[in-house]
Each structure stands twice: as C-alpha cells, then as structure tokens.
Structure 1
Amino acid sequence: MEVSTFEILTKPIAPVIGIPPELIPVARRVVQGYFLTISNLEAIDLRYRIEFTVSLPVPADPNKILLNNAILVVDVEGNNTPVTLTQQPGKPKVYRGFFTIPAHKTASVELLPILPGSLTPGLLEVRGYVSLFLPPRRSFPFSVPQSEKPVKVLLNPEIRGTFLPNGFPSVPNPSPDFDQISYTLAIASGKALNEIPPEPGQPIIIHLPIVAPILEELRNGTLDLPSLDADNSEKAQMLVQLLAQIDTNDVNLKELNTVMDKFDIPVRMSRS
C-alpha cells in the first residue's frame, strides 16, 4: 500500500546568491529526515518491506538519490537497528528494506541523511513516495503468506528536521542557533488505521549466477556457515536446500550440471 510522500534534505533553506551579506545567516541549512511510526495491531510478529520510490533527477545527480546518501533505521522499544537499504533489481528508482515488528509493538522507521558526510557539499535533496508491504515468509521450497487475511496497522508519517548555522561545524560560531521542525504528512489512505494485504506465496527461484559462487565456496570449504565447524552433512543439507529453490526447467538443469562439473562436485541433477 502507498503510505505518503517523503523528502530528505541537507541543504540551505534558500539560495544565498544575491542575498545581502547581513541576511546570509538567515538562510541556514536544514537537515531533514522522514519518520514513519508503525503499530503492529496483530497478535503475531510481522515482517514488513518498505519501499522508497525516488523521483530520479534528469540529468543524473548524485545529490538527488538515496544511494550512499541515506540510512534506514528501525527503532523498537528504544533500540535503533540499522536496516540494509538496497535498490530493487531492475528498478533503479526503488529502494527497499525489510524489518520485523513484534506483536502489538510500535516502531519508528527512519530514513535519514548520512552525517556528517551529507554536510559537504550540503546539496542533498531527495523526494518521492513511500509504500509498505507484507512479503511472504520463506519456507523451502516455497514462500508462504504471513497471514490469511489483511493485517491491521496504525501509521503516522512525519518530517523532522534541524536548522544548522551556515558553515557548521567547520566554521566556529560563538552563538550557534539550532531550531527544530516537525510536521505530519498526509496519509495516502486518508486514515491512520490501515490494512495491508499479504503478498501470496510462490516457488522460490534463485538464478544460476547467484548459485555459482556459493557452489564454489562449498567446494573450497570457504562457505560462511553459522558454525565454522560445520561437518559435511550440514554442508550437504545446505546444498539440498539451495538446489530446492531452482526452477527445474531443462535449461536451468543443464547449466547447473555444467557449473557443478566445473567445480568438481560429483552431483548431477535431472527431472524425474
């Protein structure tokens, strides 16, 4: 479901070109982030996917995208947990992250400019819209819905920011002036209580370019397992789970057998 618009900034609140010198201190910089409060109203823990669809600049501008400019944090019960923010494959304007909110808990999801990096050159300006989903849960060899019905959530999107003196922190300021801003954004649904439909389950498919390096690590004994002392039976189990995710068409099986032959893995796959 679509939640709201968003905008993150690290830039002057007004152009300083043409402003009289005595008014330049008024055109301070603002560091602004996006905050989404989410209450899980269900009696089970739920894993969410949040997506930020960015208005890509034309021409390209590294100061107007999220990559290397923003961090995603989830705060549940006062514990700030970084969330990996990645670009969706094939959709360069979509960034996504996954997080879990326990049953009947409330979390603050925060998209923030990277500091102090974004203070130089101080031209960060990214905007777009936010969507929230309930992805299926992995259960080899299929993924299954997290719920049989839409799940209820309370949502409250906000913009929060801080005004900084020009030149801060490199330019000394005997009387620094820091002000705060905070305002609620309009919710796309027009209401705080919302329902998110669960995404359906489906077979899990992993493409061979992803499988190949894992098979090579398995052969070399460098595969990063939960236990460094994992025995061969554990490795075999991991390989079986991995292979169970592959779409068993003739082309995939032929390519997979070629890869395993290259890595001297004495296993051949066929369809029964």
Structure 2
Amino acid sequence: MELSTFELLVKPIAPRFPATVPGSGAITAVARRAVQGYFLTISNLETKDLTFRLEFVISKPNPADPDRTLFNNADLLVDIAGANTSIALSGGVTATSFSGFFRLPAGQTASVQLLPKLSLGLLSDPNPDLEIRGYVKLTLPALFKNIREGFVSQSATPAKVLLNPEIRGTFLPNNYPATLTGDFDQINYALAIASGKALNEVAPEPSRPILIGPILTDVLAEMTTEVPPQFIEGTPLEQAQSLVGLMAQLDFSPENLQSFSDLLSKLEIPIQVSRK
C-alpha cells in the first residue's frame, strides 16, 4: 500500500547572504540548520509475528546529485521496546527505489526511522544541502522458505495495522558542533496517510516459486540429488552460503553475474557479485 510522502533535510532554514543595514555595514543573515527525518509508528494488530517491507521511492535527481539520493545518505532503524536496531537499506547509486525489511511481533508497536546519515563534516558545514523527498510504500512480502517451496505468503488474509507517519526535525545553530550554545529547537508534524485513516489492512503477497531463469536452471537440475541439506532446510545463513557456492559452477560473464545478483536480491540476501 502507498503510505505517505517523506522528506529528509540537512540544510539551512533560510539562505545566508550579506545584507546591508543603514549605519551598520554588512551583516550576515541568521540561518539555523534543519536536520529532518521520517518516523513511522506502526502497530501489528494480528496474533502472529509479521515481517514488513518499507520501500522509499525518491524523486530522481536531474541532473544527478549525490545530495538528492538515499544512497549513502540515510540510515534506516527500528525500535520496538529497546535500543534502535539498524535495518539494511537496499538500493544502488543510480536507484530511485530503496527498501528495508523489519520483523514486528504480534501485538507490538515499533518506531521505524529513516534518518539523514550525519557526519562531523556535514554537521560542521555551515551550508549543507542534503534534500531528499519521495513517497513510502508498506508491503507484507512473501518470505523465502527453501529452494523447493520458494516464497511463502505470511497470511491468508490482510494484516491489520495502525499507522502514524511523521516528520521530526531539529534546528541547530550555525556554530554547532564547534560550540554547544545557541538557539536549538525541535519540530514534528503528522503526515497525511494515503488511505486517509490510521487503521489499515496490508494485503499479503501471494506464495510463488523461485524464478531462477535459464542461467541457473541447468546447474540446479544437475544438482537435484546433490543439493546439501542445509540448502533445503537450513538457517538463512546456511542457505545463503550454499547458494553462493553455486557461483563456482557459473560462467562469470557480466550477464550471468547480473542474473545471479538478481536472484540473491529476490532471496533477500544482501550480496551483489561482480568481476573486476
């Protein structure tokens, strides 16, 4: 489901420019810096644990601008009832779609946060220009079970959730962090939910087999009676290790490596292969 818009910022709230006041000479306009992130409070109203996927679709920078993309510029975190836990945020340097998965136990509420990746250099820059906007999608993905059953739907019916997306920001004085004095402030406001309501139902993705394609079909066919048990019934880590082992049997052409990377992505394994 389409959930809401989002906007990340690290930039002055007003332009800094020389101004002239009669009798006082040149001065610099006051302009604090805004650090703004996206927060989603989500409650799982079902009686079983569920894994959700958040997808952030950004407005494509034109021309290309490293300060207008989530790539290397954002952290995705989740907090249920403890410390923040990092979520892997997929998406490459030219991507316009970035996504992450998080597991939410039955009856629990989580805070999911997409925050600007702050560095000392960015905080010290008096004129930072990080500005990223787009929209957010929430899905209930089918999860990989094993090579035989493929991806299995998490539910036979839509999952009920409570949603509250927000923008939260902090205003920093221009001399921060060199000094810790100055005018600090905070702001937060709710974002409109696309459905127009807080109580929503997320339709589950249906079960589906693994679509491997011609690159790996022959390899797996030859291994039908030799597939190691951990590849079929093992932990996600054991399955990933066994799958990567198939690379030894592939022709390392660019096309094959890209197909293999696509397969790993479909299996929710954050590995991309290339030959240099």
TM-score range, shorter chain: 0.7 to 0.9
Paired residue type of 2:164: N
After TM superposition, give the deviation of residue 79 of structure 1 in Å: 2.4
CA separation of 1:13 and 1:144: change in aligned 2, threshold 3 A: same
After TM superposition, give the deviation of residue 177 of structure 1 in Å: 1.4
Q: Out of 132, 148, 167, which is 2:156 matched to?
A: 148
Tell me which residue corresponds to 2:266: none
Which deviates further from its counterpart, 149-158 or 78-87?
A: 78-87
CA separation of 1:58 and 1:81: change in aligned 2, threshold 3 A: same
Q: TM-score, normalised by structure 2?
A: 0.73
Tell me which residue corresponds to 1:76: 80
CA separation of 1:23 and 1:88: change in aligned 2, threshold 3 A: closer
Contiguous gaps of at least 5 residues in structure 2: 21-25, 221-226, 234-238, 252-276
Q: Residues 149-168 of structure 1 correspond to what in structure 2 (within 5 A)?
A: 149-168=157-176
Tell me which residue corresponds to 2:272: none
Tell me which residue corresponds to 1:60: 64
Tell me which residue corresponds to 2:15: 15
CA RMSD for the aligned pairs? 3.2
CA separation of 1:19 and 1:100: change in aligned 2, threshold 3 A: farther
Tell me which residue corresponds to 1:100: 103
The size of the alignment, in residue pairs, is 226
Paired residue type of 1:176: G
Paired residue type of 1:236: P
Contiguous gaps of at least 5 residues in structure 1: 216-234, 247-254, 260-272
Structure 1 residue runs of 4+, over 4 Å off? 18-23, 206-211, 239-243, 255-259
Q: Out of 165, 188, 200, which is 1:182 matched to?
A: 188
User: Contact 1:208 / 1:256 at 8 angstroms: preserved in 2?
Assistant: no
User: Contact 2:141 / 2:154 at 8 angstroms: preserved in 1?
Assistant: yes
User: Contact 1:88 / 1:96 at 8 angstroms: preserved in 2?
Assistant: no
SS at match of 1:202: coil
SS at match of 2:91: strand
Paired residue type of 1:148: A
Counterpart-to-counterpart distance in 1, 2:19 and 2:82: 43
Identity of aligned residues (%): 52
Counterpart-to-counterpart distance in 2, 1:28 and 1:210: 55
Counterpart-to-counterpart distance in 2, 1:191 and 1:236: 48
